[in-house]
Amino acid sequence: MNAASQRWTVARLGTAQTLAWASSYYLPAMLAAPMARDLGVTTPTVFAAFSVALIVSALLGPFAGRGIDRHGGRPVLVGTNLLFAASLVGMALAQGPVGLFAAWVLMGVAMGSGLYEAAFATLVRLYGQGARGAITGITLIAGFASTVGWPLSAWMETQWGWRGACAGWAALHLLVGVPLNGWLPRADAADKAPEPSTDAIAAPTTEPAVSAPPTPAHPLRTTVLLSFVFAVTWFTSTAMAAHLPRLLQASGTSLQAAVALAALVGPAQVAARLLEFGFLRRLHPLLSAQLAAAAHPVGAGLLMVLGGPAAAVFTVLHGAGNGILTIAKGTLPLVLFGPAGYGARQGLMMVPARVAQAFAPVLFGMLLDSAGAAALWLTTLLGLAALGALWLLRPVARV
């Protein structure tokens, strides 16, 4: 497949991922409060339904990965557009907590088979060991999901109410998402990678191809260490997404400054991904991940020691590290295990991450309430532990 065709694939898939993230993961931030008022429940109840969706997505991720390994990403991702649309219509029609939770459960099914993990598996299914640049490309585009999603959700809610906003997102999935994913290249049988061994999902491919990475000395240990790193990354990024402005206030900044500084996370993520796409792509993905994993602990240490004056540095370092670690979730399983059985393996490794993500807002919020800015000790220590786990992995090949 030529470079121009790959760029178009990345553009289509990145745009579809922007739509998927904006209408699911970033939806509650704008619509949870009006949903709660209209349905007669508390705002935490809406976020509890969102957490249920994240747990459902964790359970379904490995099955979606296996489906992509076998059939390619196009049918799976088109199906998820239909699921996203159905769940959003269900929210728009909900009349109480039962309907709300049912719609979010269906949303969890769509998220488990339609977000980054599925997109990464689709690219690996199409391009094999050459998928690193494509993975970076879609994260560059979808890195603006909150930038696009939050204002658009707010505008639709102002114009048509929260039910109309949900219906509007459903229509976008049908009118935009389905064609974008439907135009993805077909994964032909000739390109199909062999299934992974059934005795252990972590067992690497033993194909004698020259480009395949060597077998890790301890595949199960490698799988566990990567799963831990991904869980820490998701926990920290979700905790910061939910509580960053309040954390910055607890560190000594004003409300206005905290909101303005929190807005730096998105640009920092995209800037770091551009750096990864350019200079850092010359490095082994494991080294890039190690540098990124150190960013949050370093920034958090500065914030805890210096307080408000270090808030901007912390925000930028956190955003940059998170931006590169998002790419690492796609590239590290590829470089350490190879493309065979990638979707199923990655889906399994992301189960702890999705569970950690589901509980992050509540747990970190409780700690922030009781300890203030000292709550950063939790994410700092977790970040250092993740860095240690990455140091225990050995770079066995280049992508």
Rounded CA separation 133/138 (Å): 9
Contact 242, 361 (CB under 8 A): yes
Does the domain formed by 3-191 have CATH 1.20.1250.20?
yes
Rounded CA separation 214/207 (Å): 10
**pTM for the predicted model, two decimal places:** 0.76
Rounded CA separation 152/223 (Å): 39
Contact 126, 191 (CB under 8 A): yes
Break the chain into its structural domains and give their ranges.
3-191, 219-392
* Residue in 72, 79, 63, 64 with CA at minimum distance from that of residue 16: 79
In the chain, % helix, strand, coil (3-state, to 5) comes to 80, 0, 20
- Provide the CATH topology of domain 219-392: Growth Hormone; Chain: A; (1.20.1250)
Rounded CA separation 338/215 (Å): 9
Rounded CA separation 92/371 (Å): 38
Q: What is the pLDDT along the chain (399 residues), one digit of tens a residue?
A: 567 788 889 999 999 999 999 999 888 878 888 999 999 998 888 888 988 998 898 888 778 878 888 878 888 999 999 999 999 999 999 999 999 999 999 999 999 888 888 888 888 888 887 787 888 888 888 878 877 887 898 899 999 999 999 999 999 999 999 999 999 888 665 344 444 443 433 344 333 333 444 555 578 888 899 999 999 998 998 888 777 888 888 999 887 888 788 778 878 888 888 887 777 677 788 888 999 999 999 999 999 999 889 999 999 999 999 988 988 888 888 888 888 788 778 778 888 888 898 888 878 888 988 898 899 999 999 999 999 999 998 655 444
State the pLDDT at residue 344.
77
- Tokens at residue 381, please? 């220590």
> 312: number of CA atoms within 13 Å, CB side?
3
State the pLDDT at residue 336.
84
